Chain A
Amino acid sequence: MTDSTQTAPAGPAAARRPHLSIADFFGKYGVFVVFLGLIVFFSVHPTSGEAFRTWENAKTIFGLSAPLAVMALSLTIVLVMRDFDLSIGATMGLGGAFAITLMSKHGVGWGLAIALGLLIGAAVGAFNGTLISYLRAPSFVITLAVTTVVYGVEFAITGQKTIFEGVAPAYTWLGQNRPLLDIAAQAWVALALAILVWLLLDHTEVGRYMYALGGNPEAARLAGIRTRELKFLGFVIVGLGAAFAGIILTSQAGASSPTQGVAYLLPAYAAAFLGSTMFRPGEFNVPGTVVGVLFLQVIQTGLNMLGLNTSVVNIVQGSILIGAVLASLVGSRRR
């Protein structure tokens, strides 16, 4: 009747209970269980099983996941602050295209090319961050508009052509070599990044402040947290991450093709949102995002191995996503 009695009635009792109820378990691990179930399914299915349940296939999945993982991990930082960035697909394309073009057409060394590719991503992020954080423009429209601008810049740089000449061998090392345990370098890099982002979000003051900003911006501001700087920083990181994902992608292909990043935009969101249904339901979190990325790649690979045609793959992939999220809702729904 007064706001103080709005307490969820089950709340204190649930918190007091030491063991995990079935509902709690499904709320936290439901999607993860579905993920494991899919791996088992593809491993035993007569059509896909033989090819799927190999170490070679696992390594392929790790490698293929890397660009998406880098995208989704950096996106997670912005999502934690309850903001979003729709320009990451375009930025990914731009970062890769810029680095490749510098090498191919301007004779720039691979190291500098990578550095400048990252820098241009950071610049896009800083532009977004300035408009959204300091000038308080709505991120939906801004990042959508910036997407168009970034495409324009990319086309101007590449002339909308696929570029494959003059790519330094060292540049493709990241995407094409398997330095350790026969697993692709890009997968190791993505893993390292996952650990870094996890440390940032879960084990630093900055990360705690980012979660606080997402939970209640006003309370965070009144607590003396520099909320605008924090959000700006988040956009710079996501721009940097997207460009890095683009560099990995072009390193893998040894070439840059037009609008190469756009295919990663929605999967990055799907992975992060899938992740937010796992482990800490309702909160974007790094372990969740990592499993989300692998989840998507496993579905993709598994369905391909089943030999389904693209239309079926799309429908099944979307349906599995919906089902996974519903599974977690069943568990987490409270009265």
Chain B
Amino acid sequence: MSDPTGEKAPEPAIPDGTSVGVAETPYFLEGIQLHKQYPGVLAVDHVDIGMRPGEVLGLVGKNGAGKSTTIKMFAGAVAPDAGEIRLDGKTIHLHGPHHAHSLGLSFVHQELSDVPNLSVAENVMLGLGYPRRLGAFVSWRRLRQQAAEVLARIDAPIRPDALVGSLSVVQQRLVMIAHALARESRLLVLDEPTASLTNDEIEHLFAVVRSLATNGVSVVYVSHRLDEIFEITQRVVVMRDARVVANVPTAELDRRSLIAQITGTTSGQTAAERRAANGVGPPPETDVLLEVENVTLPGLVDSVSFQLREGELLGIAGLVGAGRTELVRLITGADRRASGRIAIRGRDIGSTTSSALDAGIVLVPEERRTQGLVLEFSIRKNVTLATLPQHRLAGVLPSPSVTQERKTAHAMIERLAIRASGSEQPAGWLSGGNQQKVVLAKWLRRGGDVFVLDEPTLGIDVEAKEEIYDLMEALTADDKGVIFISSEFPELVGICNRVIVLREGRIVGQLVGDEITESGILDLCYSHAADEAAPG
């Protein structure tokens, strides 16, 4: 869970926000010397943090840096061991999430946490006491009215009686924000709110955030996406190794210095710099490894064809809903294709998982927790799940040899630098980056010619991301083919030989070698989008 600090890099000199004289408005909510120690893990180390009315505060840091625990203290979900929380100068003791909410402290978590089988109105007012009729029965009419008022405040064009399960992701997130704001809010904490949103949707969200701030609400914006931090925040607090290491006005930061603060190193490369530094070029002139011809799944993937060469790192870009995940699930047999041909080295393969696996195509799926791992299994059992027959007792009996399995697991823990207490630790207890590495380890042990990684870096910290890039590059150096899906286009710019862009299930263009730039990818994603009818 914690990122081992390793050797401490020299602290880059960073001005302290309090000394720069931006403190025109006093903090209305403060955490003073907050401290939380879990067994074996120091989660929050004497942290001072404050929020001002009308200010958007960015909270950034690697996974395990302590952001989550800090936020949870304000939400009343975690009790600090030491330190205090002051609201309007008075020390308060939060009894629980409900108490925090009643004080006007609202939290929108990263995961969609609304109730899909209830209506929008029921979700927005959930837990706040529905309006009553005759003292006992819910007044649905007034409930809808109340919800509509809240939704109007954030300019969300959503019908109060729609089922939440039928809404798009952004609409669901707006419903969650509306729920957070249904009670008079003074603080709104948004945790990675833009995950899986399109750019238009992000713009809408930002507009909502800005208007809330204008109305005096204090917003804390937690995100790994630094561009968003620069766009929306006025002040940034950086946490590292359980401490606050910087508290500065956003205007005084640039991307490089922010990354330096987050990682504690002085590098902080941009994607283009990484590309140049590692000498990433166009695809090698090698044999064709994978052929995909007219692969189709009606309504989702429309006659997609491309080739992948040995040692090529191919990026697949597109907006959410463009069919990227659907396409690679067809290629890897996770879903059955309706038509089309897939071949490895000229040999056709069937449309099931096992035929794809036998042909050497492996998928690291999008959702590591729900699709990649058996969470209650140990690292050992997860790593060997796809190669159990290679770990037989005495080499022949269909009975797994724990000794053999441990050997494999330990080798993988070392190779991928998985941070865990040992091979018997349940995968569910690992941090996201380490969980992803366990999924990768499973497939590395299995081996294969084509590795398909669907959003492998989603929600994991900068260091773990670098390690996963390195791993993909090591695979291509070994003449494997790698297909890499990412919604963070700079990642694709940093490592891909070639990028194909999907829109509405079709390939709309490709970029090769130095043509790969973030703006190039974005142009393709949005090309023609304007003159087509808005998709449903």
Chain A interface residues toward B at CB < 8 A: 1-17, 199, 203-206, 208-209, 211-212, 215-216, 218-226, 282-283
Known A-B contacts A2-B192, A222-B365; A208 and B459 likewise in contact (beta carbons under 8 Å): no
CA distance A3 to B426 in the complex (A): 16
Q: What residues on A are CB-neighbors of B192 within 8 Å? A: 1-2
A11 / chain B contacts, CB cutoff of 8 Å: 1, 425-426, 428-429
In the complex, which residue of chain B has the Cβ closest to the Cβ of A283? B376
B41 contacts A9, C-beta separation under 8 Å: yes
Chain B contact residues, CB within 8 Å of chain A: 1, 38-41, 43, 63-64, 67-69, 71, 110-111, 191-192, 222, 224, 332, 334, 353-354, 357, 363, 365, 369-377, 381, 385-386, 388-389, 398-400, 420-422, 424-426, 428-435, 442, 459-461
- Residue among B353, B370, B428 making CB contact with A221, cutoff 8 Å: B353
Contact B354 A226 (CB under 8 A): yes
In the bound complex, residues from chain A placing their C-beta under 8 Å from that of B431 are 4-5, 7
Identity of the chain B residue whose Cβ is nearest the Cβ of A282 in the assembled complex = B376
Residues of chain A contacted by B68 (CB below 8 angstroms): 1-2, 5-6
Shortest CB–CB separation between residue B455 and chain A, in angstroms? 12
Docked Cα-Cα span, A9 to B40, in Å, equals 9
Cross-chain contact B374 with A222 (CB below 8 angstroms): no
Report Cα–Cα, A271/B293, bound state, in Å: 54
13 contacts between A and B (CB under 8 A): A1-B67, A2-B432, A2-B459, A5-B69, A9-B43, A10-B38, A11-B428, A13-B38, A13-B41, A15-B421, A15-B425, A219-B385, A224-B357
Closest-CB distance, B392 to chain A (whole angstroms): 8
Across-interface contacts of B191 in A (CB, < 8 A): 1-2
B386 neighbours in A (Cβ, 8 Å): 223-224
Which secondary structure dominates where chain B touches chain A?
A: mixed
- Complex contacts, A223 vs chain B, CB 8 Å: 385-386, 442
Residue of A nearest to B376 (CB): A215
Q: B1 touching A218 by the CB < 8 A rule? A: no
> Which among B1, B224, B357, B374 has the greatest number of chain A C-beta atoms within 10 A?
B374
Chain A positions within 8 Å of B426 at CB level:
11, 15
A1-B71, A7-B429, A215-B377 known; A222+B371 contact, CB < 8 A:
yes
Find out whether the CB atom of A218 lies under 8 angstroms from the CB atom of B39. Answer: no
- The reply to whether B374 and A216 form a contact with Cβ atoms under 8 Å apart is yes
Which residues of A lie under 8 Å from residue B1 when comparing CB positions? 5, 7, 9, 11-12
Q: Which residues of A contact B371 (CB under 8 A)?
A: 216, 218-219, 222
The reply to whether A205 and B373 contact each other, CB–CB distance below 8 Å, is: no
Cα distance A2–B386 when bound, in Å? 28
Question: Which residues of chain B are within 8 angstroms of A224 by Cβ–Cβ distance?
Answer: 353-354, 357, 386
A7 and B69 alpha carbons, distance in the complex (Å): 11
Q: In the complex, which residues of chain B have a beta carbon less than 8 angstroms from the beta carbon of A282?
A: 376
